[in-house]
Amino acid sequence: MSDDSILIRLGESIDPDLTARIAALCIAIESQHSAWVTDVVPSYTTVLVSYDPSMIDFRRARQALVPLLHSSTEAGTVAPARSGTVHEIPVYYAPESGPDLQNLAYNKSLSVAKVIQYHTAVTYQVFAIGFLPGFGFLGSVAEAIATPRRQSPRKQVPAGSVGIANQQTAIYPKASPGGWQLIGRSPVTMFDVDGLSRLKVGDGVRFHAVSRSEYLNLGGTL
């Protein structure tokens, strides 16, 4: 991929089983080759491995990684090294916290309550972390509420905003521009410089609705 990184491609499409394999493969790489691996970045179908070129060259790094990849292919997965934490995330679903909530419901011929019901009924899988530190791409949203990104992205989306883009949903870990359809807001801190990202690839996320007062009591802001 570059003079100090290797890209491992494990598939071509989003697949929950593939995500679990990618998550376990990352753990195996980090645990077995921590001396020269400087970073491991999982995505939907790939793993990017960065290494210290002063300690190892491309040929030897590739040679060390191939057995892990082959063993995972033969077994269908590598030995699981992470249980896959399921995070319970409170969300205040309302027009003041989710300015696209009512329009989404209208466009889908649903009540707001039904949109919330669909969104909270699923245990989502973390497929990738990106865009912003701690921004987890979660899937898959029920087809009934799947909706495209906004045609005009907002210049500023508040931290904690919960959005939908096609069949993915996510929580903005910090204020930033963004084009996802916003349906609510969570008081949970998704990223900090000490604990880093709350979510990891392969984890699960369940949303549950809270009232305005509960949201504010949990530290949320409007």
pLDDT digits (tens, 9 = 90+) for 46-68: 999 999 999 999 999 999 999 99
> What is the structure's pLDDT at 14?
78
Backbone angles phi, psi at 112, to 5 degrees: -60, -40
Contact between residue 174 and residue 199 where contact means Cβ atoms under 8 Å apart: no
> What is the structure's pLDDT at 89?
98
pTM of the model: 0.78
Instruction: At 111, list the tokens.
Output: 């009540």
> What is the structure's pLDDT at 73?
52
pLDDT band for position 17 (cuts 50, 70, 90):
confident
Contact between residue 45 and residue 25 where contact means Cβ atoms under 8 Å apart: no
| pLDDT over 90 (residue 111) | yes
d(CA 222, CA 217): 12
> What is the structure's pLDDT at 20?
79
> What is the structure's pLDDT at 24?
83
Q: What is the DSSP letter of 84?
A: -
Percentage of the chain exceeding pLDDT 90:
70
